[in-house]
Amino acid sequence: MKQHDTHLPKALQGLRIPLIASPLFIISVPKLVIAQCKAGIVGSFPALNAREGEGEHPLLDTWLTEIKEELDRHNQANPDRPAAPYAVNQIVHRSNTRLDRDLEICAGHDVPIWITSLGARVEVNEAAHSCGGIVLHDIINNKFAKKAVEKGADGLVAVAAGAGGHAGQQSPFALMSEIREWYDGPVALSGSIATGENLLAARAMGADLGYAGSPFIATDEANADQGYKDMIVDSGAEDIVYSSLFTGVWGNYLKGSVKNAGMDPDNLPQADVSSMNFGTDREKPKAWKTIWGSGQGIGAIKSVGPAGDIVDRIEREYLAAGKKLAAEFG
């Protein structure tokens, strides 16, 4: 397969398939990120997942050291199939009291790809650029896309309807069309990307890369309860509910987990945006700890297994779908 990626920043070139594994709250840990990168796609995790105890050495520093060392070992042993780069997600919200410290740690480790959420700030982009990194800012509409690029983001993650966790409401067709009217930089598309056909469709819509998270919940390396993994396998698009209750930001969740927490997923109250809190002092009702996020694409997930198997499957499907369409247009 010819790769047409020379227009992209170096960190996004040469991937096995054009896919970024999205940063999953709690679930994305070094073991999963390393497996994703070794499989040839960008692996990522939220900086806030690395939570050390009071007075302990920053766990983020430890995690980044572990990821870099393991990927270096892999690259030395497999020069013909090097690992893809990794990314760290920063929550750029005023309630994230760790942000400045985490930016400093990431800059010190020369993190190659920075994914920013819930706020576009010039100083965050500058921190990434200071160590040679690139910034992809996630957005849910065209207005936020323009704001992110104005603030100096190097690329966008377009989070369309059907994405897991914090998600937009717009059709990916509409969102990509509006962005591509004025922007020719890197765009990754998120929203139910769970198969190779989905990934090819994202490319056809104008995205440079896909951005997938939910398939990686049901993996051996994911830091998720077995019940969570099993519910991903057993559920489909109709088992997802869109709600702002749990974080103050609209997102998609598994209805089964909402029911198990004693709530009716079809009658959830809305939360005020002021309830958003990503600080270390945040408190949530105990029952909410088992509210599980997921996108709508999970019907494609048939079993729990290694993360590398998911990448293998998506690559097979992507190439087959591409050849099939190419034959029609040939």
Closest CA to 46 of 87, 8, 101, 94: 87
* Residues 114-139 pLDDT 10s: 999 988 899 999 999 999 999 999 99
Q: Which of 61-65, 108-112, 118-122, 202-206 has the lowest mean pLDDT?
A: 118-122
pLDDT above 90 coverage of the chain, percent: 85
Domain for residue 82, yes or no?
Answer: yes
Which two structure tokens, joined as six digits, stand for 170? 């717009």
Per-residue pLDDT at 274: 63
CATH number at residue 186: 3.20.20.70
Per-residue pLDDT at 120: 86
Asked if residue 99 has pLDDT above 70, the reply is: yes
Domain for residue 122, yes or no?
Answer: yes
User: Is residue 34 within 8 Å of 44, Cβ to Cβ?
Assistant: no
User: Is residue 132 within 8 Å of 153, Cβ to Cβ?
Assistant: no
Mean residue pLDDT across the chain: 94
Domain for residue 241, yes or no?
Answer: no
Residue type, 126: E
* Residues 240-269 pLDDT 10s: 999 989 888 899 999 999 999 999 999 999
Domain for residue 31, yes or no?
Answer: yes
- Extract the runs of DSSP E, i.e. beta strands, from the chain: 19-21, 43-46, 86-91, 113-117, 134-139, 155-159, 165-166, 187-190, 209-212, 240-243, 251-254
Domain for residue 269, yes or no?
Answer: no
How would residue 40 be classed by pLDDT, with cut points 50, 70 and 90?
Answer: very high
How would residue 324 be classed by pLDDT, with cut points 50, 70 and 90?
Answer: very high
pLDDT above 70 coverage of the chain, percent: 94
Per-residue pLDDT at 290: 87
| Residue 159 or 96, more confident | 159
How would residue 94 be classed by pLDDT, with cut points 50, 70 and 90?
Answer: confident
Number of domains making up the chain: 1
Which range marks the domain in which residue 305 is found? 13-224+296-329
Domain for residue 243, yes or no?
Answer: no
Per-residue pLDDT at 267: 93
Per-residue pLDDT at 2: 64
Q: Report the predicted TM-score, pTM, of the whole model to 2 decimal places.
A: 0.95
Q: Which of 124-133, 185-194, 206-215, 246-255 has the lowest mean pLDDT?
A: 246-255
Looking at residues 47-54, what average pLDDT do you find?
Answer: 94
Residue type, 121: R
SS3 percent helix, strand, coil of the chain, rounded to 5, is 40, 15, 45
Domain for residue 154, yes or no?
Answer: yes
Which two structure tokens, joined as six digits, stand for 231? 């519910």
Which residues, including other chains, have CB under 8 Å from residue 120's CB and lie 6 or more apart?
92, 137, 144, 147, 148, 150, 151, 153
Which two structure tokens, joined as six digits, stand for 304? 């729990």
Domain for residue 274, yes or no?
Answer: no
How would residue 289 be classed by pLDDT, with cut points 50, 70 and 90?
Answer: confident
